[in-house]
């Protein structure tokens, strides 16, 4: 998957929208490169990140705990991070086919920002690789 370059303005309060596709039974990786409003790399040194994914929004929505993205800074100084799931986590046992909503939150100290959100389309695994 290509790197998604996003602009982050902490003062705007508006997350960047990015839709993702996950294929069941396969490793999933989405790379992000974050810049500030002047186009310079956003420095995430000392920041933390987390993610939530839900099957639907509104009353009764449930978090998909076994399929929540792992978020890791690949170069915090350069504003680069990756959102990932293992092949085991994308199997239909943990993550059924359908549409989900997700967000990625970043925190500095006690302040949390909604950095990215969007839809995730999950395709069920058709066949298993040979063992």
Residue 128 lies in a domain: no
pLDDT band at 91 (very low <50, low <70, confident <90, very high): confident
Tens digit of pLDDT for each residue in 21-76?
A: 999 889 999 999 999 999 999 999 999 999 988 886 665 556 555 568 899 999 99
Instruction: Pick the closest to residue 81 from 13, 37, 16, 126 (CA basis).
Output: 16
Is residue 102 within 8 Å of 67, Cβ to Cβ? no
Residue 48 lies in a domain: yes
Residue 130 lies in a domain: no
The CATH number of the domain where 50 resides is what? 2.60.40.10
How far is the C-alpha of 131 from the C-alpha of 125, rounded, in Å? Answer: 16
Residue 15 lies in a domain: no
Q: Which residue range is the domain that position 100 belongs to?
A: 4-9+20-123
pTM for the model? 0.85
How far is the C-alpha of 10 from the C-alpha of 82, rounded, in Å? Answer: 20
For the chain, the domain total comes to 1
């Amino acid at each position: 998957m290509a790197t998604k370059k996003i602009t982050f303005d902490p003062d705007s309060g508006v997350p960047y929208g990015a839709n993702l596709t996950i294929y069941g039974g396969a490793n999933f990786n989405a790379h992000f490169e974050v810049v500030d409003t002047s186009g310079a790399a956003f420095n995430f040194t000392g920041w933390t990140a987390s993610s939530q994914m839900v099957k639907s929004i509104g009353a009764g929505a449930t978090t998909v705990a076994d399929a929540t993205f792992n978020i890791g800074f690949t170069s915090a100084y350069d504003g680069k991070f990756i959102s990932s799931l293992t092949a085991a986590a994308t199997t239909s046992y943990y993550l059924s086919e359908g549409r989900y909503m997700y967000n990625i939150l970043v925190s500095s100290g006690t302040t949390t920002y909604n950095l990215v959100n969007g839809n995730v389309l999950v395709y069920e695994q058709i066949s298993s690789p040979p063992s």
